Amino acid sequence: MRKTTILFILVDVLAIICFVLFYGPYAEFRNVLVNTAMITKSHQYIAYTFYSEKTVKEILDLNNFIPVSEDIKLDDIVIDTGEKDTYDNEYDEAILKRENGNQDYKYLKVKVGKYNAHLVAIYHPEDVKLISSKTFNTGSGQETILKMCARYGGRVCINAGGFKDPDGWGSDIPLGYVIKDGEIAFSENNSKQNIIGLTEDNKLLLTYATGEEAIEMGMRDGIQFGPFLIVNGETIKYKSSVGGYDRAARVAIAQRKDGVILFLATEGTHGSGPTMKEVVDTLVLYGAYNAANLDGGTSSQMVVDGKLVNNPKNVFGQSISNGRRVVTGFGLIPSND
């Protein structure tokens, strides 16, 4: 009888704890649970099991953002990436002051919110190029960024665009446009989309256009993804003051007004990692004038001189050895000249 009483007490305590977590003052717990559940169609029932459709919608609305509406002004970018004698602030110095004579890039360990992150300043924007898997839509086209970067002879590489993932195991079918060397390497249709890439003048172009229109604007290498985080120094705005509760590992590309390209990759998992706002705030500190979000989550990868420097994790928080297989990325690929 005594054991039964203890069991009932434990069940009651557990029920109370669950009730407080799901319906009490712990807003972040609710938001993480809902956003994590809503990532895939197969797990959305979890959110609706505990919360009404209205509550789920309100939580998802926290992540809604107001995009930057103005067109990018590439003339604002004046490429002058040489080392300076004076700096505007400590973040400017961190970017521009060379380390060990390395004139190609500088690798920094930084914090984005409370999460560890990896930031690389690239001094030769002309050497930032699209990298991609050997083939698209063949069933065997995916590669990790580690392998892709090595095949291209890259010094620093990050993953870039998304890919179709109908069963959770990924595929080698890119999501949307892939532009390589001024030509469309892959496309699903001819609709206008957010396209991120480098122009022939080595400037980061963020444009809502068709692939053909992006190429007419001068894009040499690019992919379809988003959202755009900073345009002409104007940052994305969130409808919620908290800047979104949707936390995950993040990857971003940016360019300063002096032409220095920034690669950023953060640690984290689905439901655990920096918000977009925290990413934007960090990029602004380091002088980003234009910036865009790239494919994050389990795909997040940064390779520096043959080493995967971040710790990619799956949705269960388990490390992915050598990183997930993806289909596109951006890399610092030094020319042979």
Cβ atoms 278, 267 nearer than 8 A: no
In the prediction, which pLDDT does 140 show? 85
Q: CA–CA separation, 329 vs 320, rounded Å?
A: 18
pLDDT by position in tens, the chain (length 337)? 566 665 555 554 554 444 444 445 445 556 666 655 655 544 577 667 777 877 777 666 666 677 777 899 999 999 999 989 899 999 999 999 998 889 999 999 999 999 999 999 999 999 999 999 999 999 888 899 999 999 999 999 999 999 988 777 778 999 999 999 999 999 988 999 999 999 999 999 999 999 999 999 999 999 999 999 999 999 988 765 444 447 889 999 999 999 999 999 999 987 788 988 999 999 999 999 999 999 999 999 999 999 999 999 987 889 999 999 999 999 999 987 5
Query: What is the spatial distance between Cα 7 and Cα 5, in angstroms, rounded to a whole number?
Result: 5
Check residue 21 and give its pLDDT: 43
> In this structure, what token pair is assigned to residue 61?
């609305």
Distance CA 325, CA 141 (A): 9
> How many alpha carbons fall within 13 Å on the CB side of residue 176?
20
Place of tokens 């890439």: 197
Quick one: pLDDT at residue 34?
Answer: 64
> How many of the other CB atoms lie within 10 Å of CB of 289?
23
Q: What does the CA dihedral 18, 19, 21, 26 come to, rounded to 10 degrees? A: 180
Q: Are 156 and 262 in contact (CB under 8 A)?
A: no
Query: What per-residue confidence (pLDDT) applies to 54?
Result: 79
CA distance 102 to 99: 6
d(CA 318, CA 4): 37
User: Where are the domains positioned within the chain?
Assistant: 2-61, 66-332
- pTM given for the model: 0.83
Per-residue confidence (pLDDT) for residue 17, from 0 to 100: 45
Task: Report the alpha-carbon distance of residue 267 to residue 310 in Å, rounded.
Answer: 6
Dihedral over alpha carbons 177, 179, 183, 189 (to 10 degrees): 0
Q: What is the pLDDT of residue 240?
A: 53
Strand pairing partners for 326? 143
Give whole-number Cα distances, 334 to 101, 159, 301, in Å: 16, 18, 20
